[in-house]
């Protein structure tokens, strides 16, 4: 749990710092640093859904070893 908390602090600090360097606005930087992880979490959820479909489709395809004599 400590590792998760320190990662969250690190993530917030990086997001805030980048936003502040780009905008020079503490309010906008704070809001971005809080909203970005939430948006990123939703994006990650959908990324995993797509990735699972890709893996399933790949598993359904027969593996071809043609052209790889060392595998025979």
Mind listing the pLDDT tens digit for each residue in 16-28?
999 999 999 999 9
| Residue 12: closest CA among 20, 24, 2 | 20
> Which residue segment(s) compose the domain that 33 sits in?
2-57
pLDDT at 66: 57
**Structural domain total, the chain:** 1
Our separate counts of H helices and E strands in the chain read 2, 0
Mind listing the pLDDT tens digit for each residue in 26-68?
999 999 999 998 899 899 999 999 999 999 998 888 765 555 5
pLDDT at 60: 86
pLDDT at 25: 98
pLDDT at 61: 81
Taking the alpha carbons at both ends of the chain, their separation in whole angstroms is 48
Rg (the chain; Cα; Å) = 21
Q: Would 43 be classed as within a structural domain?
A: yes
Q: Would 69 be classed as within a structural domain?
A: no
pLDDT at 67: 55
């Amino acid at each position: 749990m400590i590792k998760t908390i320190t990662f969250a602090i690190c993530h917030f600090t990086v997001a805030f710092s980048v936003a502040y360097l780009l905008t020079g606005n503490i309010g906008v930087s704070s809001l971005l640093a809080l909203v970005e992880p939430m948006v990123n979490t939703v994006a990650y959820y959908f990324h995993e859904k797509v990735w699972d479909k890709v893996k399933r489709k790949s598993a359904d395809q027969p593996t071809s070893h043609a052209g790889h004599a060392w595998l025979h």
